[in-house]
Amino acid sequence: MTDMPIPGTARPTPARRSSLIEVDPRTRRRNAAEKRFRTYGAVAIGIAVVALAVLLATIIRDGSGAFRQTYLSIPVTLDAERLDPKGNRDVAEMSSVLTLAYGQVLDTALDQAVSGMDLQIQGLTEDDIDGLISREASAQLRSRVLDNPELIGQTVDVNVLVNGRIDGYFKGRVTMASAERDSNISPQQLMLADALAERDLLVTRFNREFITNPDASDQRPEAAGLGVAILGSLYMMLVVLVLSVPIGVAASIYLEEFAPKNRLTDIIEVNIANLAAVPSIVFGILGLAVFINFAGLPQSAPIVGGLVLTLMTLPTIIISTRAALKAVPPSIRDAALGVGASKMQSVFHHVLPLAMPGILTGTIIGLAQALGETAPLLLIGMVAFVREFPAGPPEGLFDPASALPVQIYNWTQRSDPAFVERASGAIIILLIFLLCMNLLAIYLRRKFERRW
């Protein structure tokens, strides 16, 4: 810069008294660049929104089928010979009759119903007819009879699940062409199903059991439900709520209101910030090593899941609670101290109630995160196949259970394509729960929003 020409000569004198109204070429180029840049931004937003739309649309497309299910209703004669050989109508005695016998009763009833219809289907075998109904159906019938022993001997209308492939046929998942290649279903069965549907014996209707039933084995996608998973998630959320809110709020109060500025509190703060960013699977390893291996708590138990999720949620709750406490103006604290309250009283009587809406919102958002968390739960055994509902709390917290997101993962690992529908349906339920929680958080924030 030192060997510059004499100042003033380097720069043309401002002879360019151009008009404002004519846009010069350079400005035009710059404006074009401006427009391009703006477009990139709009495209970025567009990609994000389209991704969201596609994601939700595919989930709804794949999952809405799970809320409808095909049922067969036929008259069944509950043969006393087979179902209650001793004839005492004693539930204890009848329990010794296996599900198999009920299956035979159902098969007979179905065979009769079909033969009475005079159908002309080439190559329809008796196995084809029996294969129409779900393997779960006999168990359904059995539990119904055991609840109601006087039904035996009567002919009752029975509403049973049909095979998942037949159900898929009515939802468009299975076609005649695919049935040709499928060893689990034959085109004859589909024709039979059509004939039954024509006579209103096969009906596809709302599937309440999807929400209330427990999981079912690999061969029975039609019977699989979310009951145990929802209950398990509920138990875990209960544990998280009971533990993380008091602990999180107490920790925040200490750090925000009482903690001196020293090394220890610095370490705690750095710790919390880091824990918020530690991968969730690491918390699963922690749960496995500490709660299961070291403390000896049972695998697959909601209590362990709840504890792990509590540790994961704490940083979120602490961070939002501290923000809420920080938002309460110091003048409130001064006012309380000014009338002779102790520091502790000023916090618990004045600051905490004012920060409550913020704390509540943060808590709900933390819970929503915990509800959707999957990875750590896989490591503590929540992925196990559980058909028994856990008992009521508190003992039930130690019973094996599943959880909503883990159930979804579980179903994605099954071979029958009907489970894809189940998994997507479960996601719809999960998203509805999350939506409700977030709406509640938004509502609370709007309602109690306060500007100082």
Partner 1 sequence: MYDTTRSEADVSQQDIKISARNVQVYYGDKHAIKDVNVEILDKTVTAFIGPSGCGKSTFLRCINRMNDTIDIARIEGEIRLDGEDVYDRRVDPVQLRAKVGMVFQKPNPFPKSIYDNVAYGPRIHGLARNKADLDGIVEKALRGAALWNEVKDRLQEPGTGLSGGQQQRLCIARAVATAPEVLLMDEPCSALDPIATGQVEELIDQLREQFSVVIVTHSMQQAARVSQKTAFFHLGNLVEYGDTNDIFTKPRDSRTEAYISGRIG
Partner 2 sequence: MPMSWALLVTLLLAGAGYLVGRSRAFSSAGADIRLMHSRPTYHGASVALLTVAPALVVLLLAAVLRMSGLLAADTAATGIAVLIAAVIGLGYGISRINAAFQARNAVERMVLTFLILCSMIAIATTAGIVLSLIFETGSFFQKYSWHEFFFGTEWTPRFDGNSQLGMLPLLWGTLYISFIALLVAVPIGLMAAIYLSEYASPRVRSIAKPLVELLAGIPTIVYGLFALITVGPLLRDAIAQPLGLGNSASSVLTAGLVMGIMLIPFVSSLSDDIINAVPQSLRDGALGLGSTPSEIVRQVVMPAALPGIVGAVLLAASRAIGETMIVVLGAGAAATMSLNPLEAMTTITVKIVSQLTGDNDFSSPETLVAFALGLTLFVITLGLNIVALIIVRKYREQYE
Q: How far is the CB of 28 from partner 1 (least distance, A)?
A: 9
Going from the C-alpha of 84 to that of each of 139, 146, 157, the distances in angstroms are 16, 10, 19
Applying CB under 8 A, does 319 fall inside the site for partner 2?
Answer: no
Which listed option, partner 2, partner 1, none, makes contact with residue 17 (CB within 5 to 8 Å by class)? Answer: partner 1
Smallest separation (angstroms) from partner 1 to the CB of 16: 8
Q: Which two tokens stand for residue 246?
A: 């008091």
Whole-number minimum distance, CB 25 to partner 1, in Å? 10
Is 11 near partner 1 (CB under 8 A)?
A: yes
Least spacing, CB of residue 288 vs partner 2, in Å: 6
CA distances, 32 to each of 45, 196, 379 (Å): 20, 66, 54
Nearer to partner 2, 15 or 264 (CB): 264
CB of 207 closer than 8 Å to CB of 147:
no
- Asked if residue 318 lies in contact with residue 414, where contact means CB atoms within 8 angstroms, the answer is no
Residue from 10, 264, 277, 339 that binds partner 1 (CB under 8 A)? Answer: 10
Residues near 92 by beta carbon (within 8 Å), at least 6 away in sequence:
none
The residues near 71 (Cβ < 8 Å, ≥ 6 apart) are 159, 160, 161, 162, 202, 203, 204, 205
∠ Cα 222 204 133 (to 5°):
45
Query: Residue 8: left if φ>0, alpha if ψ -120 to 50, beta else—which one?
Result: left
274 binds partner 1 (CB under 8 A): no
User: Which of 23/442 has CB closer to partner 1?
Assistant: 23
Candidates 119-127, 179-187, 385-393, 421-429 — which segment interacts with partner 2 by CB under 8 A?
Answer: 421-429
Residue span 13-52 as binding mask against partner 1, x where in contact by CB under 8 A, dash where not: -x--x-xxx-xx-xx--xx---------------------
Contacts with partner 2 by CB under 8 A: the residue count is: 85
Applying CB under 8 A, the site for partner 1 has a residue count of 20
Q: Which of 98, 100, 242, 278 binds partner 2 (CB under 8 A)?
A: 278
C-beta of residue 358 within 8 angstroms of C-beta of residue 340? no
Place of tokens 């299975």: 174
Least distance (Å) between residue 21 CB and partner 1: 5
Tell me whether residue 231 is exposed, middle or buried, using C-beta atoms within 10 angstroms of its C-beta: 0 to 12, 13 to 18, 19 or more.
buried
Q: Which is nearer to partner 2, 76 or 406 (CB)?
A: 406
Positions that interact with partner 1 (CB under 8 A): 1-2, 4-5, 7-11, 14, 17, 19-21, 23-24, 26-27, 30-31
